[in-house]
Amino acid sequence: MKRLLRGGTVINGSGAVLADVLLDGEKVAAVGRNLDAAGAEVVDAAGMLLLPGFIDAHTHFDLDVCSTTTADDFAAGTRSALRGGTTTVVDFACPNKGESLQYGLDLWHRKADGRCACDYGFHMTIDDWNGQIRAELPAMFDAGISSFKMYMTYPAMMIGDRDLFEALTAIGELGGIAGVHCENSGVIDALIARRLAAGETGPGSHPLSRPAPLEAEAVGHLLRMAQVAGTPVVIVHLSAEESLLEVRAARARGQKVYVETCPHYLLLDDRVYFQEDYSAAARYVCAPPLRKPTDCSALAAALSADEIQTISTDHCSFTLAQKDAGRDDFTRIPGGLPGVETRGTLIYSALAAPGTLSLSQMVRVLSEQPAKLYGMWPRKGVIAPGCDADIVVYDPDADTVIAAADQLSAAGYTPYEGFRTRGSIRSVYLRGTLAVDRGQVLEDRLGQYVKREKPIFF
Ligand code: MN
């Protein structure tokens, strides 16, 4: 079937142009002025922004954390994603220590296959390192996995400097990319122990035991290891201004370093943790924690200066009842925020509409650059002939207010309650099919696994 989106403004990472977009089946067939509408259903897109479907390269659906499971499984999470204009997610397959990568990959396929509303791929978590896991890496690339995740904190996940270095080296040799959670584990453990010993068990102790310098230290530590390994890395969910200083230093040495941040580090700050009401504070617990308002503005400035390449959500949702597990001990609060549905609208409203980011810059961090880094370019991340017809139709005049009651996530709350948006999503096409229209998800089982190629380093 052919569809002609007529007269919208097509925004790509490379620029904006007033044009028609012709969809033919699952692909974009043409972009240009006054395209021939013969045989096509014509959709009036005058006054609309036509954006490449958003890619959220950091989600956690159906994940066991802190003896509980995220509120959103793949069905709920990808429906929520799609409604928010995200046509592709990259989730983290996560084998436990002692399990093979293939076991983890099979498990994540069982969680996701046949249940997803948007397209999906997996990063592979490496939380164990030995000769067998090293030997599995080429098979992972063959299975469409070209990016790997490692942790410098969390005992269940971290592998230590020696193994982290060996894994970085091996991933680099194979042409892949590593994303790393950077926080200094040992000092955080010491600070947590102090607060618990002092009886300071509330959510306010969470940010106080994970201060920004301990993220920056780990970023610098990782980047020095990556320098020796010669491997490009992504600093996932970078939250602090001090961490940016480490990134700048590594780039000045000539290293390839990519930075991901998240809407909550741009729009929220750590004052929320110091509310009297437990539930009001605990809902914001995530790691790294929310930072200071000065960090939020430093991240916005870094985005504006093209120092940050991707904005993902780290969507990891728990209900307030689940968050209750930490009433007597903040370390038992399951960490993570919902956000997969609101990312595009928030970034447009808070950064693009006010002019902090150009529309093309916004498309680069939401779509183009995640597509390149995670091996999906140019199939995804751009509106151009031959690419997947994943398109967000954004109405810049349809302002709205974000409310939990209007969200599809099973979290039951949104960190952005009451946020006034600038415009909103009118409709979403997933590979040529109208999948969301005026807030209604029309198709919720069309998501396909994306077998990803190697990263394009830029
Ligand atoms: Mn995460």
Cα-to-centroid distance, 314 and ligand 1 (Å): 5
Cα-to-centroid distance, 312 and ligand 1 (Å): 10
Q: Are 340 and 313 in contact (CB under 8 A)?
A: yes
Cα-to-centroid distance, 287 and ligand 1 (Å): 8
Cα-to-centroid distance, 423 and ligand 1 (Å): 28
Cα-to-centroid distance, 127 and ligand 1 (Å): 14
Express each pLDDT in 153-190 by its tens digit.
Answer: 998 899 999 999 999 999 999 999 999 999 999 999 99
Cα-to-centroid distance, 430 and ligand 1 (Å): 25
User: Is residue 50 helix, strand or coil?
Assistant: strand
Please give the Cα distance from 267 to 176 (Å, whole number): 31
Cα-to-centroid distance, 58 and ligand 1 (Å): 6
Q: Are 54 and 400 in contact (CB under 8 A)?
A: no
Cα-to-centroid distance, 145 and ligand 1 (Å): 17
What is the pLDDT, as a whole number, of residue 129? 97
Please give the Cα distance from 311 to 267 (Å, whole number): 12
Cα-to-centroid distance, 368 and ligand 1 (Å): 21
Cα-to-centroid distance, 122 and ligand 1 (Å): 13
Distance of CA 336 to the CA centre of its chain: 12
Express each pLDDT in 224-248 by its tens digit.
Answer: 999 999 999 999 999 999 999 999 9
Which two structure tokens, joined as six digits, stand for 266? Answer: 């741009």
Distance of CA 122 to the CA centre of its chain: 12
Cα-to-centroid distance, 59 and ligand 1 (Å): 7
Which two structure tokens, joined as six digits, stand for 260? Answer: 């991901």
Cα-to-centroid distance, 310 and ligand 1 (Å): 14
What is the pLDDT, as a whole number, of residue 24? 98
For the beta sheet containing 147-151, the strands, ordered from the edge strand earlier in sequence to the opposite edge, are 54-59, 86-93, 119-125, 147-151, 177-181, 233-235, 257-261, 310-311
Cα-to-centroid distance, 384 and ligand 1 (Å): 31
What b/e readout covers 185-202, taking b as 16+ CB neighbours within 10 angstroms?
Answer: bebbeebbeebeeeeebb
What is the pLDDT, as a whole number, of residue 368? 98
Amino acid identity at 320: L
119-125 and 257-261 strand pairing: unpaired
Which two structure tokens, joined as six digits, stand for 441? Answer: 């998800």
Euclidean distance between the first and the last CA atom of the chain, given in angstroms as a whole number: 35
Please give the Cα distance from 60 to 141 (Å, whole number): 21
Listed as ranges, residues in the chain with pLDDT below 50 are none
Cα-to-centroid distance, 55 and ligand 1 (Å): 15
Cα-to-centroid distance, 371 and ligand 1 (Å): 18
What is the pLDDT, as a whole number, of residue 66? 83
Please give the Cα distance from 242 to 366 (Å, whole number): 24
pTM value is: 0.98
